[in-house]
Amino acid sequence: MGLIRRSSRREPIAEKERGKGPVIALAGNPNVGKSTVFNALTGLRQHTGNWTGKTVELACGRFSLGEKELTLVDLPGCYSLSPASGEEAVARDFLLREKPDAVIAVVSAACPERSLALALEVLSLGLPTVVLLNLADEAERAGKRVDAKLLSRRLGVPAVLCSARNGSGLAELRAALEEVLSGGGGDRESEFFTGDYYKHRGEGGMLEKSERCLRECSRLLCGAASEAPHKGKSLTERIDRIVTGRFTALPLMFLLLLGVFYLTLVGANYPSRLLSGAFGSLEELLYRFLTHLGAAPFVRDALVLGIFRTVSFVVSVMLPPMAIFFPLFSLLEDLGFLPRAAFCLDRCFARCGSCGKQALTMCMGFGCNAAGVVGCRIMSGEREKRIAMLTNSFVPCNGRFPLIMTLTGLFFVPGGNSPLAAAAVLAALVVISVLMSLAATKLLSETVFRGKSGSFLMELPPYRPPKVLRVLITGAVDRTARILLRAVLVAAPAGLVLFILANIQTSGGPLLSSVCGSLNPLARFFGLDGPILTAFILALPANELVLPILLMAYTSGGALAEAGGAELFSVLTANGWTALTALSVMLFSLFHWPCSTTLLTIRKEAGGVRWMLLAAALPTAFGLLILALINIAARLLL
């Protein structure tokens, strides 16, 4: 077994791996357990979210088969090799251009009527193929049966029943794979290879080919797939009457969102305080150590009070909520709720010129907008992909929650000690951000990206018991560590710059104060002030820095400061803050330019600086317009 490796669609994986042994492609529809098969064979933890289009890059792992070392390439989940989306183009290009030594075509044993079509397209390419009928355990619970031997004879290639979640059928899969790699297991006189579909596979338009493929699936499965007499609605159907119901779906989504935020708020406070105290003690030790070494005072202070304090603040603020939010989010993925959210929001996004897949990328943005931008690869076309990327920062990421939660507790929740009320305010702000995201999508679809929106095809997976341990590892370790590392890498140089600005003296005091003063007239029009606007600008590397920079500017301190509760409230009100100021800051935190990590990700994913600049300008314009309207109305009414 080897380490997992990812590749973009343009990198010739098969060619690079060819010298290391045979290359096996893993192909199949979304929700057929393809990534679970990948994990079971390679022993690697490829994330297996229970929603469509999760895998867009190619994941590679190695596993042993007898004396051979094989490379397994997990292709993006797709419905056809006639590309209607980016993931389908990736799968098609890999199979046609790199010609792997064999293909494992994964088919759902619980629903072979729909998922066999892709396997037939793969077979038509003439590549050595094993048809893997996965999810056999779900099929058995649903009273469905697939005769793998009969289907194998009809197809002319090995067909194996399997349940990759519990390891059942993997030995048979290995044996079948070894057979096709040795040149056996293929029967060109089978019903499939001598039938009309294969003989006329290149004829007609896309619709005609699709219809012919579905008829061939029905013919091949006749007598080979059966199910018990219908006994009423299944558990999934009964649950979906509530989860996707016309009048219950959106309220349920709001309650789930409220619950996630509540658990995050309640659970993150104590570990944040512990981390802050631990970093404070470590900072003191580091300061003494550098003093003992005889480091120059400015260098010592820049390293400790500038870089180290900034990084420690970002980590202590970001790590606990992320370690709670991402596992909860991953549980919703694994359970199968996220595709239902996309289904429920599809109509809203369709009216705005996009599709429900954008809801999935928007959900990713709640954890990290940069991750949400990368997730936009699942969008069907470049038009929808760019719209989703440019609007992803309209939803607040993990880095913006601390400021919003702090101001909520100080100005809008009586006593500041009601997590449920704070979660309700936060959830309401999130609803506002979603509505603004829809408005921005509508604006872009009718101006910059005018044109017809793409189609949205999604199969709602059955509800499955989540694998809690794997979800915790994926959410708390994998996702959290990656995002935290990016934040630390940008926070370290930002801390140095902030320290220099706060300690360079001019005739009017520290350079930071001069910058605040110059921005004050502009900021006042929008209900802010110079220090607030300066804090948002200097916090470009990481949104978590807004509040400490603001305190530094208000107190004329030479390093980042942290204050909580009554002390923070006193500092803010002494500098003219009111509830209206707090509301303006919270709304501007929702709608302003994304952090530098997200902007650089947009530049890379969209392929140009102009898209990065538009991604910065769009939410900022919305935010300033909202603030201007609110403050003009307040001046007229008060």
* 416 dihedral zone (left: phi>0; alpha: psi -120 to 50; beta): left
Instruction: For residues 542 and 323, give the distance between their C-alpha atoms in angstroms, rounded to a whole number.
Output: 18
Summarize pLDDT for 446-470 with one digit per residue, the tens. Answer: 998 887 665 556 667 777 777 666 6
Candidate from 85-89, 224-228, 398-402 with smallest mean pLDDT: 85-89
Question: Stretch 485-492: mean pLDDT, rounded?
Answer: 74
Candidate from 49-58, 165-174, 216-225 with smallest mean pLDDT: 49-58
Residue by residue, DSSP assigns 359-398 as: HHHHHHHHH-HHHHHHHGGGSSSHHHHHHHHHHGGGS--T
Question: Stretch 83-99: mean pLDDT, rounded?
Answer: 77
Task: List the structure tokens of 486.
Answer: 């990016």
Domains along the chain with CATH numbers: 5-227 (3.40.50.300), 249-451+468-637 (no CATH)
Task: List the structure tokens of 409.
Answer: 């507790």
Instruction: Supply the pLDDT for residue 66.
Output: 82
Summarize pLDDT for 309-323 with one digit per residue, the tens. Answer: 888 877 887 778 777
Q: How far is CA 251 from CA 254, 256, 359, 471, in A?
A: 5, 9, 16, 26
Instruction: For residues 339 and 94, give the distance between their C-alpha atoms in angstroms, rounded to a whole number.
Output: 27
Instruction: For residues 385 and 618, give the distance between their C-alpha atoms in angstroms, rounded to a whole number.
Output: 16
Residues 6+ apart with CB under 8 A from 189: 156
- The residues that bridge with 5 in the sheet, in sequence order, are 60
Q: Are 602 and 631 in contact (CB under 8 A)?
A: no
Instruction: Supply the pLDDT for residue 5.
Output: 45
Contacts 24+ apart (CB under 8 A), 387-390: 387/353, 387/354, 387/358, 387/441, 387/444, 387/445, 387/449, 388/354, 388/357, 388/358, 388/361, 388/362, 389/602, 389/605, 389/606, 389/611, 389/615, 390/440, 390/444, 390/602, 390/611, 390/614, 390/615, 390/618
Instruction: Supply the pLDDT for residue 280.
Output: 87
Instruction: For residues 120 and 154, give the distance between their C-alpha atoms in angstroms, rounded to a whole number.
Output: 12
Residue by residue, DSSP assigns 229-243 as: PP-S--HHHHHHHHH
Instruction: Supply the pLDDT for residue 452.
Output: 66
Q: What is the pTM of this model?
A: 0.70
Residues 6+ apart with CB under 8 A from 356: 342, 343, 344, 345, 346, 349, 350, 456, 458
Question: Stretch 516-523: mean pLDDT, rounded?
Answer: 92
CB atoms within 10 A of CB 9: 17
Collapsing DSSP to helix, strand or coil, 539 comes out as: coil
Q: Do the bridges between strand 505-506 and strand 509-510 make them parallel or antiparallel, or are there none, so unpaired?
A: antiparallel
Instruction: Supply the pLDDT for residue 134.
Output: 93
Instruction: For residues 90 and 372, give the distance between their C-alpha atoms in angstroms, rounded to a whole number.
Output: 20
Summarize pLDDT for 586-607 with one digit per residue, the tens. Answer: 999 999 999 888 998 899 888 8
Summarize pLDDT for 544-556 with one digit per residue, the tens. Answer: 788 878 888 887 7
Summarize pLDDT for 127-173 with one digit per residue, the tens. Answer: 999 999 998 888 888 788 899 999 999 999 999 999 988 889 999 99
Q: Do the bridges between strand 102-108 and strand 68-74 make them parallel or antiparallel, or are there none, so unpaired?
A: unpaired
**Residue 435 pLDDT more than 80?**
yes
Q: Do the bridges between strand 23-28 and strand 5-7 make them parallel or antiparallel, or are there none, so unpaired?
A: unpaired
Instruction: Supply the pLDDT for residue 171.
Output: 92
The helices-and-strands tally (H runs, E runs) of the chain is 29, 11
**Residue 103 pLDDT more than 90?**
yes
Q: Are 14 and 99 in contact (CB under 8 A)?
A: yes
Task: List the structure tokens of 570.
Answer: 């006193």
Nearest Cα to Cα of residue 611 among 385, 307, 396? 385
Identify the band that residue 231 occupies on the pLDDT scale cut at 50, 70 and 90: low
Strands (E), 66-167: 68-74, 102-108, 129-134, 144-146, 159-161
Q: Which helix (H) or strand (E) holds 439?
A: helix 419-446
Instruction: For residues 68 and 88, give the distance between their C-alpha atoms in angstroms, rounded to a whole number.
Output: 30
